[in-house]
Amino acid sequence: MRFSLSHILAPRQSPAEFFAMARALGVKDVEIRNDTPNVVGTQSPAMVKAEAAAAGVNLLSINALYPFNVWNEERRAQTEKLAKYAADCGAQALVMCPLNDGTPVAHDQLVAALAAIKPILVAHRIQGLVEPLGFPVSSLRRKADAIAAIKAAGGEGLFKLVHDTFHHHLAGETEFYPEWTGLVHISGVADADVTVDKMLDAHRVLVDQRDRLGNVAQIRALQAAGYKGPFSFEPFATEVQELADPQAALAESIGWIEEQVAA
């Protein structure tokens, strides 16, 4: 399997420390963020590019443009800034997340936003990764709706999907779209008491034998359908972010996943 790491799992590490941990784990792909930690707002793209090159890691994406489906001048400026940073630091794509506060966003608005984002991505030669969020309050929960909007905006090839195992489970989705999938985010939920409709980012931990999301089954299904891209660890739980030795915990999770997927 081709694994990747999102900086969200070790936000106390500097980019250089994070990149070094990835390589120590045999992982060559990483994702940086503009929230936790806010690498985009605190590090120059030239520095990030140099540190990634020195460590020998590939910058998959910046996470994230939010809320990408509410288009206005503020969003245009935000998109331009993130796309330029991505291009300057060598990141291949920009992850794009929908409004997630209970406010509905019409299909036409989603299509219009994608159409407006297209020329910005093209100008900076990066890809857009649309990530449906499975939360009940999300304005874009399902991958099929994202695909329909991408087609309507004429964005085939420029836009791909993020298949997030957490959000796939929350949305109750059963369909896999390997040909549309550019990246897979993986995380587990181990809390035995929280109901699916109450699961939040704070519940997302590293994947192990306690996982309730069916990560192994989802990974197997994606691979069987032809997906060959990276599987990026994206746990948000504080208990992961505050680990004294995240490298050891990641090595254990990687080993467990590989063993189970191969079984």
First vs last Cα of the chain: how many Å apart?
14
Average pLDDT, the chain: 98
Per-residue model confidence (pLDDT) at position 259: 98
Q: 134 and 167 in contact (C-beta within 8 Å)? A: yes
**CA–CA distance from 88 to each of 64, 79, 91, 195 (Å)?**
16, 14, 8, 42
Q: 93 and 86 in contact (C-beta within 8 Å)? A: yes
Q: Which of 232, 238, 260 is nearest to 28 (CA)?
A: 232
Per-residue model confidence (pLDDT) at position 112: 98
Number of domains forming the structure of the chain = 1
Token look-up 């995240």 returns 246
* Domain boundaries, position 58: 3-262
Per-residue model confidence (pLDDT) at position 97: 98
Per-residue model confidence (pLDDT) at position 137: 98
Distance between CA atoms of residues 71 and 175, nearest Å = 28
Per-residue model confidence (pLDDT) at position 150: 98
Per-residue model confidence (pLDDT) at position 115: 98
Per-residue model confidence (pLDDT) at position 225: 97
pLDDT of 38-95, one tens digit each? 999 999 999 999 999 999 999 999 999 999 999 999 999 999 999 999 999 999 999 9
Which parts of the chain sit beneath pLDDT 50? none
Q: 52 and 91 in contact (C-beta within 8 Å)? A: no
Distance between CA atoms of residues 20 and 213, nearest Å = 29
Per-residue model confidence (pLDDT) at position 174: 96
CATH of the domain at 54: 3.20.20.150
Q: Which of 215, 168, 163 is nearest to 189 (CA)?
A: 215
CA 163 from centre of chain: 8
Tally of residues, the chain? 263
Q: Is the pTM above the cut of 0.85?
A: yes
Per-residue model confidence (pLDDT) at position 73: 98
Token look-up 């590090």 returns 43
Per-residue model confidence (pLDDT) at position 41: 97
Per-residue model confidence (pLDDT) at position 19: 98
Distance between CA atoms of residues 216 and 262, nearest Å = 10
Residues 6 or more apart whose CB falls under 8 angstroms from that of 169 comprise 134, 196, 212, 213, 214, 218
